[in-house]
Amino acid sequence: MNGPEPTPSAAAWLGTVSQQVVQTAVVLLVAVLIILASRLFIHRMLRAVAGAPGFVRLMALRGSTPAQRRRESQRRERRTTTIASLLTNAVTVVVVVVSLLTLLQVWEYPATPLLTSVGIVGVAVGFGFQQILRDYLAGIFITLEDQFGIGDLIETSEVVGRVRAMSLRITTVEAEDGAIWYLRNGEILRVANRSQGTATTAIPVTRPAEDPSASSAPPTGRLPRTEATEGPHRTTAPQNRTQEDPR
């Protein structure tokens, strides 16, 4: 004895749900594949592009020490890692947003109210965290443009010192007196990198005061010619001699 057969409406609903499940699985699978492929492509591309320094860097590294070349290699590697992380995160966000919008359409959910709510929340969050976003954006451009790196001697409007640590938001600088400064990247408006190019240092030299009594001395440092210093060529004053009368 067989059970009750599903009604046409139930069969249609089951068919629609199964179709939506399959479409959801396909969307998620495609999204994961796109993210993995983009990460692999970005890492390989950046390794090929940033694997060697540019012409300007090559000219600057001529005659440099092994320590300087090793530091330059570490900076390139760190910059490549940062750029790769930024690009992969951007691709991931875009793929996730597109996938969510596609899934909303698959499950026939109206996306307009959700997008409106997200937009309002985004504006409120943007006003609250605009300074933090400014710091992060400045840190991204500092890293991309290679304005300075760890170990560089920099000069800003606040401090002159050597960079000890860097992040996308904070740059740590050790001043000449040993103080540690934490500079927000968004507040660094002007910076001079003394480790790039040719920098000169002015060293003040104090000249000792001259002795007034030494001005009367001969400039050559020799004693004046006198009878005691004339040597074999000295002359003597004539002397009056009297002769005795032999008588």
pTM given for the model: 0.55
The pLDDT assigned to 57 comes to 52
The pLDDT assigned to 55 comes to 46
> Above 60 in pLDDT, residue 19?
yes
Length of the chain: 247
- In tens, the pLDDT along 217-226 reads 555 555 555 5
Mean pLDDT within 3-13: 65
- In tens, the pLDDT along 198-209 reads 556 556 667 766
Q: Which residue has the higher pLDDT, 174 or 14?
A: 174
The pLDDT assigned to 247 comes to 47
Instruction: Provide the phi-psi class of 241: left if phi over 0, else alpha when psi is between -120 and 50, else beta.
Output: beta
Portion of the chain with pLDDT greater than 70, in percent: 67
Torsion of CA 130, 132, 137, 140, to 10 degrees: -170
* Helix 112-128, helix 130-145: angle, nearest 10: 80
The pLDDT assigned to 101 comes to 86
Q: Distance of CA 238 to CAs 141, 185, 229, 235, 241, Å?
A: 97, 94, 19, 9, 9
Give the Cα separation of 106 and 104 in Å (integer): 5
83 neighbors 45 (Cβ within 8 angstroms): no
Q: Which residue has the higher pLDDT, 108 or 71?
A: 108
- In tens, the pLDDT along 127-164 reads 778 888 889 889 888 887 888 888 889 999 889 999 99
- In tens, the pLDDT along 40-80 reads 998 888 777 665 555 445 545 555 667 766 777 777 777 77
- In tens, the pLDDT along 111-123 reads 777 777 777 777 7
